[in-house]
Structure 1
Amino acid sequence: MRKTKRAMAATAGAFVLLGLLPLQSAAADTAPPAKLWTFCINDWSGSLFDPAEKPVAVPGGEDAGSGCWLNFRSSDDGKTWAGADLELTLAAESVAASGYTPQQLARMLLVRTNYSATEAGEDWTARHWTVTPEGALTLTIPNCTNNCTGVFLQVSGAPRERGAVLKGLLKATGPAYDPAPLPLSFDYFGRAGTQPVTFGTPGTFVPVTPSRLLDTRNGTGAPVGKVGGGRSANVRIAGRAGAPAQGVTAVVLNVTATNPTMDSHVIAYPHGSARPTASNLNFTAGQTISNQVTVPVGADGTVDLYNNAGSADLIADISGYYVAGDGGQRYTSVSPKRLLDTRSPWITPSTPARPFGPVGGGRTISLDVSKTHPDAKAVTLNVTATNPTMDSHVIAYPHGSARPTASNLNFTAGQTIPNQVTVPVGADGTVDLYNNAGTVDLIADISGYYSATGSRFVPTGPTRVLDTRQAGGKRLGEHEELYFQPNSWKFGLPPFGVTGVTMNVTATGATSDSHLSVFPEPSCYHFPGMWPEYSNLNFTAGQTIPNAVTSAVPILNSCGGNTWGDSVGIYNHSGTVDVIADVSGYFTQD
């Protein structure tokens, strides 16, 4: 950001010396209205040009896009700056000629500026188009209040095959400016073979106390009997466990496989859609294992759980669902932080009501979320069980509610295993974690929470964004980190305005017992820091195991040229391991 500001200041100064920027007299009564001066650059390279004379190139499917400097300087002493709201409008005629509806184009053509009027110019802000009754697109860039030398406006477009030149007007609305609009145009072009991104419907989350929707062992939600290899269990979501009969866009399920006869995997996907290749749950013969799944709901209100090989009993417990619009809660991502660790008296101090140490069988430990997030209605945690003395399970539920029968985490004696849990918060701001048998140490790391403010969720279905086994990939070594950008047009996600992603992260081919930690990396330059104190995925040598991860995504910034900073990082503690990540949806600003 500082580099961008310095570059803008230097550019503005150069324009003044060249006579390209008008200087005003200090006398307000004789000074002519200041004119907007706009100069653009294509693909973050090449020469500046006037967009009134040459179209701004917007290559479909490239995150970098193009940008323009909008210069505000109107004083000859270099100290007084005049600011005004700017309005950018794309003409209805050229929008119609693009071949897309205004509503489609408004989501395909993204704009952001390099300051926020509410945060003193320290971030990039995504701007959203408004569709006028005539079919034009318009957006407002608020007055810069931070003594700006100008604003950098960046444009990026979703993949597309056909091209279109979009005619536009840029005008300042303040009285200190010439009211005449500045004409400019955008050449939005694509490449043969590319397809427009299919955008999902943004929605909000409705948490529910965990409830069982499917159990093939006893016929809950399906006929009694294991799901065979190459077969699917269909799970109805709409109209059950408090979910409405219509309008459910996605569901959060805890899916468990038990009694499998062979090594296999389960794929969760919306009924009626093509089955993806990305798996959600991997297991070995005889194993009982769970994983949280966020999956779009089919048009008929159901989802399918497909078993690849052998036969296995499948269980599905709902913890919440998404609805279109604002009928539910919004999500706020946070940097991962450890809130509970019964092994540590510093993180989980002893109290008279609950002595320090493992959680006994039939006992519960409470986690107070209100201390750090008093407005949270539900919370997303990575819950890990370690050092268990017996086979058991953990149930997460809102404090003050009846304990459900649906489990969140299953484990065997001596095993260390995590699972992501999304659970409502009790009226007093706490969540309970119940251990069924034996004793076990419990760890809980927060990654985000749901409240009245934050971002809305867009389901995508599984999309592979990382696979170190592919050509050009590199196994993740001991104490090494890798970085990748999931919010990219090449994965069907918009590069601007994404605040977080839901992923299924899988470790496979590990050479030793280890764990992975997933974290947002808001930097153009990656300097591995101290080893993270939290984990998202624990595994043993040779094991293939996934876990759901909800990660914050930093605001996308340029590091110069077409190089982008800000990414999601993954750290490996020991040995070497291949890592796979599949995005199932993303959180976005309004």
Structure 2
Amino acid sequence: MRTTHRALAATAGALLLSGLLPFQSALADDKLPKLWNFCMNGSGGSLFDPAETPVKVPGGEDAGSACWINFTSPDSGKNWTGTDLRLALPAETVAASGYSAQQLAQMLLVRTNFSATEFGEDWTVRRWTVHRDGAMTVRIPACTNNCTGVFLQLSGAPREGGAELKAQLQATGSGYDPTPMPITFDYYGRAGTKPVTFGTPGTFVPVTPNRLLDTRSGVGAPAAKVGSGRSVNLKVAGRAGVPAAGVTAVVLNVTATNPTAGSFVTAHPHGAARPTASNLNFTAGRTVPNQVTVPVGADGTVDLYNHSGTVDLIADISGYYLEGDSGLRFTGVSPKRLMDTRNPWLNPGTPERPFGPVGSGGTITLDVAGKYPGARAVTLNVTATNPTASSFVTAYPHGAARPTASNLNFTAGQTVPNQVTVPVGADGKVEFYNHSGTVGLVADISGYYSDTGAKFVPTGPTRVLDTREAPGKPLGEHKELDIQPNSWKHGIPPFGVTGVTMNVTATNGTAGSHLSAAPSSGCDRYQGMWPEYSNLNFTAGQTIANAVTGQVPELNYCGGHVWADAVTIYNHEGSVDVVADVSGYFLQD
């Protein structure tokens, strides 16, 4: 949970009445009022004047420190008039920090809240503007709702050593003294702290699924299985319409087939150390697919590592992230069921394709744009259930030629989910094709790509949850747990993150069940409403993974002095250990 400093206003009012703080708006008739500014270090610390005492910004702590900027009028202080504010870091103090302005703008985060909003639910991230001379400024527009002032919160990325940042706060609107007010930020870290390495933000370019790798036939690599403890290097940049340069990450559907032993596959950028996380888990003879979002190495390639035995690997590209703004941006949504061939309300059927499962060689069409106008690609969790034969399902834009790629592979009687990111056809629809037998298909949306939304920052696999270590016990039946992926402890900024891509693994399950992931307030709540959607289906004793793209909600008020946001993981039956590895995050700019 996060803490913040909503008690500042009440505490300051008491101190004002007791005479411990100056009331700076009591001025002569010919003078404009000044801003009244006081700050607090940590949670529950004493109030102080930031012109006299540095504001401590501890590197790596999410909540950081906070200040209250009071708006007062010259009469009695009972009327309040908002004003534009500007927080500035001069070029010389930026240079003295040891970082460039571009780096510091990513490391020192600012968000504000106008006090007129009850419970502080309008926290807004403010972006630094970097000027040619190396100076940095943040503009805070005047509120228009009779605000009493602005809460200002700062959070700093982990760093080593310390830097004294000499800032200035200035009223730039009419009605206030424009003289800058000095503030000193003591931005410090601890010895041994590992600084955050920020990835390059990118926008998404969807493609009709295209096969880049098939070790069975020699596509993209020699026709040979991947051996135990070995990797296959996959060229991404410059193939299948992907640019030769500027690609930050790629979205692949990776399938393991014909394995000779229980094993796992890890995808990572070529040239980087192989992480401990896994992307696919499988047993001997099992065919398992999973969507993988992985940063691309400096040479435009990624590595796929196999732990044990031998296995054939297949990789189909569905899109890539490109530096800059030429692609699409992501908007996360609370998971919602859009299609279920078992449900007449979500699959009414047509004369051409009556209600019921999808037959051999048959297709079903899902209208996306009708519910999400402007969507040009969509991220869905697609589940195949009750199949009568071994088969595969392919998702592709409606109206386009069906590709040779597959998204789900399954055997008779098996329930298999997989995350699918697929372009939307010109008519706003997506097509699903079933190869053999009949199968029920379920599709739950978690987000879509359009001209507006957030950029993607790849991180490479970063573990944010392992119930075997913390809390040290499995997730029980009808139980939930919250994870906060957007935290400096995971190398992810706590402010401005709207969603994450994760690989979620279920292991040591005691019963057949499913996991569901959803955005949550992170506050205590009644747990009686169980979600209808699922992200991961498993049987007792099975270890299986699936990609999850989760929305991170806006800051929520939990009561007292606690604000929080989280992604909630829910288990339906039995107990199960859950592991989650973040591969990147979506950042609103």
Q: CA deviation at 1:435?
A: 0.6
State how 1:112-127 maps to structure 2 within 5 Å. Answer: 112-115=111-114, 122-127=121-126
Matches within 5 A, 1:337-416: 337-416=336-415
Aligned residues of 1:508 and 1:545 also touching (Cα < 8 A): yes
* d(CA) in 1 for partners of 2:125, 2:236: 34
Instruction: Report the Cα offset of residue 525 of structure 1.
Output: 2.8
The aligned counterpart of 1:21 is 23
- Specify the code of the residue in structure 2 equivalent to 1:229: S
Question: Residues 271-315 of structure 1, C-alpha deviation per residue, up to 9 Å, x if partnerless?
Answer: 111111100000100000100000000011110101111100000
Alpha-carbon distance, 1:93 to partner: 2.1
Report the aligned-residue RMSD: 2.2
- The residue number in structure 1 matching 2:426 is 427
Q: Which moved more, 1:541-550 or 1:173-182?
A: 173-182
Q: Is the 8 A contact 2:392 2:436 kept in 1?
A: yes
Structure 1 contact 459–586 (Cα < 8 Å) conserved = yes
Contact 1:395 1:406 (C-alpha < 8 Å) held by counterparts: yes
Q: Distance in 2 between matches of 1:367 and 1:570?
A: 27
The AA in structure 2 aligned to 1:266 is: V
Residue 5 of structure 1, CA deviation? 10
CA distance in 2, matches of 1:79, 1:395: 65
How many Å apart are 1:120 and its aligned residue?
Answer: 13
Aligned residues: 585
Deviation for aligned residue 1:16: 5.2
Query: Structure 2: how far apart are the matches of 1:558 and 1:334?
Result: 20
C-alpha separation between the residues in 2 aligned to 1:384 and 1:512? 19
* Separation in structure 2 between the aligned mates of residue 498 and residue 529 of structure 1, nearest angstrom: 28
**Whole-angstrom distance in 2 between the partners of 1:542 and 1:363:** 34
> Quick check: 1:409–1:419 contact (8 Å CA) kept in 2?
yes
User: How far 1:230 sits from its partner (Å)?
Assistant: 0.9
Q: Distance in 2 between matches of 1:292 and 1:375?
A: 24
CA shift, 1:352, in A, is: 2.6
1:120–1:146 Cα contact (<8 Å) kept: no
Alpha-carbon distance in structure 2 between the residues aligned to 1:557 and 1:530: 20
In structure 2, relative to structure 1, the CA distance for the partners of 1:290 and 1:115 (3 Å cut) is farther
What's the counterpart of residue 477 of structure 1?
476
SS at match of 1:45: coil
Deviation of the 1:514 alpha carbon: 0.1
Q: Distance in 2 between matches of 1:36 and 1:208?
A: 53
Question: Larger deviation: 503-512 or 471-480?
Answer: 471-480
Following superposition, the deviation at residue 353 of structure 1 comes to: 3.0
Q: Which runs of structure 2 are paired with 1:431-446 in the superposition (5 Å)?
A: 431-446=430-445
Secondary structure, aligned partner of 2:103:
helix
Match of 2:192 in 1: 193
Residues 430-439 or 558-567, more deviating? 558-567
Given that 1:116 and 1:122 are in contact with CA atoms closer than 8 Å, whether structure 2 keeps it comes out as no
Q: Deviations over 1:370-412 (max 9, x none)?
A: 1111100000000000000000000000000000010000011
Range with bigger deviation, 5-14 or 42-51: 5-14
Q: Give the match for residue 295 of structure 1.
A: 294
| 2-structure distance, mates of 1:81, 1:564 | 26
Answer yes or no: is the 8 Å Cα contact 1:12–1:150 preserved in 2: no
Distance in 1 (alpha carbons) for counterparts of 2:367 and 2:430: 7
Q: After superposition, what is the alpha-carbon deviation per residue over 1:129-176, rounded to whole angstroms, capped at 9, x for unaligned? A: 122222222111111122211111100111111111111100000120
Instruction: List per-residue Cα deviations over 1:502-522 (Å, max 9, x = no partner).
Output: 000000000000000000002
Is the 1:24–1:31 contact (alpha carbons within 8 Å) kept by the matching residues of 2?
no
Secondary structure in 1 matching 2:32: coil
2:203 match: 204
Structure 1 residues 481-490 or 72-81, which shifts more? Answer: 72-81
Q: Would the aligned equivalents of 2:84 and 2:172 in 1 still touch at CA under 8 Å? A: yes
| Aligned twin of 1:10 | 10
Counterparts of 1:214 and 1:118, CA distance in 2? 53
Post-superposition offset of 1:61 = 0.6
Classify the secondary structure of the residue corresponding to 2:311.
strand
The alpha carbon displacement at 1:22 in A equals 4.4
Correspondence 1:19-418 to 2 at 5 A: 20-22=22-24, 30=29, 32-74=31-73, 76=75, 80-115=79-114, 122-418=121-417
Partner of 1:575: 574
Deviates more, 1:481-490 or 1:101-110: 101-110
Residues 456/495 of structure 1: CA separation in 2 closer, same or farther (3 Å cut) = same
> Amino acid of the residue matched to residue 519 of structure 2?
P
Q: 2:116·2:146 contact (CA, 8 Å) conserved in 1? A: no
Contact 1:117 1:143 in 2 (8 A): no
| Alignment-mate amino acid for residue 327 of structure 1 | S
Q: Which moved more, 1:96-105 or 1:452-461?
A: 96-105
C-alpha contact (below 8 Å) 1:65/1:154 kept by paired residues: yes
Tell me if structure 2 keeps the 8 A contact 1:255–1:317: yes
- Alpha-carbon separation, structure 1, partners of 2:241 and 2:433: 23
Alpha-carbon spacing, 1:139–1:517, altered in 2? closer, same or farther (3 Å)? same
Give SS of 2:45's match: strand
TM-score (norm 1): 0.95
Aligned residue in 2 for 1:536:
535
**After the TM superposition, which of the residue ranges 252-261 and 92-101 deviates more from structure 2?**
92-101
What's the CA shift string for 1:461-485, capped at 9, x where partnerless? 0000000011542210000000110
Equivalent residues of 2:512, 2:539 under 8 A apart = yes
User: 2:425, 2:202 → 1: CA distance?
Assistant: 23
Alpha-carbon distance, 1:526 to partner = 3.4
CA distance 1:583–1:115, change in 2 (3 Å)? farther
Q: 1:487 aligned to 2:486?
A: yes
The alpha-carbon deviation at position 559 of structure 1 amounts to: 5.3
CA deviation after TM superposition for structure 1 residue 557, in Å: 5.4
1:222–1:332 Cα change, 3 Å? same
- Matched letter for residue 170 of structure 1: L
How far off is 1:7 after superposition?
4.0
Quick one: which amino acid aligns to residue 332 of structure 1? Answer: T
**CA distance, structure 2, for counterparts of residue 17 and residue 45 of structure 1:** 20
Cα drift, residue 196 of structure 1: 1.1
- CA distances 1:40-81 after superposition (whole Å, capped 9, x unpaired): 011122111110010011111111110100111226466642
Q: Distance in 1 between matches of 2:90 and 2:11?
A: 30
SS at match of 2:105: helix
Cα drift, residue 343 of structure 1: 0.6
Measure, in 2, the Cα distance between the counterparts of 1:6 and 1:310: 57
Query: Does the CA-based 8 Å contact 2:4-2:63 persist in structure 1?
Result: no
In the TM superposition, residue 11 of structure 1 has moved relative to its aligned partner by 4.4
- Does structure 2 retain, via aligned residues, the 8 Å contact 1:455–1:589? yes
Which residue in 2 is equivalent to 1:511? 510
Relative to structure 1, is the Cα distance of residues 5 and 189 closer, same or farther in structure 2, using a 3 angstrom cutoff? Answer: closer
Work out whether residues 380 and 423 of structure 1, in 8 Å CA contact, stay in contact via their aligned partners in 2: yes
Where in structure 2 are there 5+ consecutive unaligned residues?
Answer: none
2:25/2:35 contact within 8 Å kept: no
Whether contact under 8 Å (2:33, 2:74) holds in the other structure is no
DSSP-derived class of the 1:311 partner: coil
Q: Which amino acid counterpart does residue 462 of structure 2 have in structure 1?
A: T
CA distance in structure 1 between the aligned counterparts of 2:253 and 2:471, rounded to whole angstroms:
34
Aligned-residue identity in percent: 72
- Which amino acid is 2:335 matched to? P
- CA separation of 1:196/1:558 partners in 2, compared to 1, >3 Å: closer, same or farther? farther
In structure 1, how many angstroms separate the alpha carbons of the residues matched to 2:362 and 2:44? 62
CA contact (8 A) 2:62 2:488 kept: yes
Distance 1:468 1:229 in 2: 28
Aligned-residue offset at 1:349: 1.7
Distance, in Å, in 1 between the alignment partners of 2:90 and 2:528 is 49
